[in-house]
Amino acid sequence: MKRSAKAINLGKRLSPHRIRHSAITAALDATGGNIRLVQKLSRHSRLETLQRYDDARQNFQGECTEHLAKLLRQSKSQKPQASLSGDKT
């Protein structure tokens, strides 16, 4: 795993646990947060752990949404205003 991460210049440590965590997070995204289905698919014994994954996923999505909304507001405020006289200046 270390060689693979280095070969693609990942820049982060790679481990079976991290890959499993990413797969579970992706499964939660794909199932709309159906934690019971993901528990069954992943054979994860502790529902509490999956709930933490889901909480982290939802927090991250919220942060992304807030950041994108901020960028949209900024881009709208920076658009040039159309001239009232019809001139393109």
Domain residue extents for the chain: 1-59
Place of tokens 């019809």: 86
Contacts of 12 (CB under 8 A, 6+ apart): 5
Whole-model pTM over 0.75: no
Q: What are 22-79's pLDDT values in tens digits?
A: 888 888 888 888 888 989 988 888 888 888 877 777 777 777 777 777 888 887 777 6
- 3-class DSSP state of 14: coil
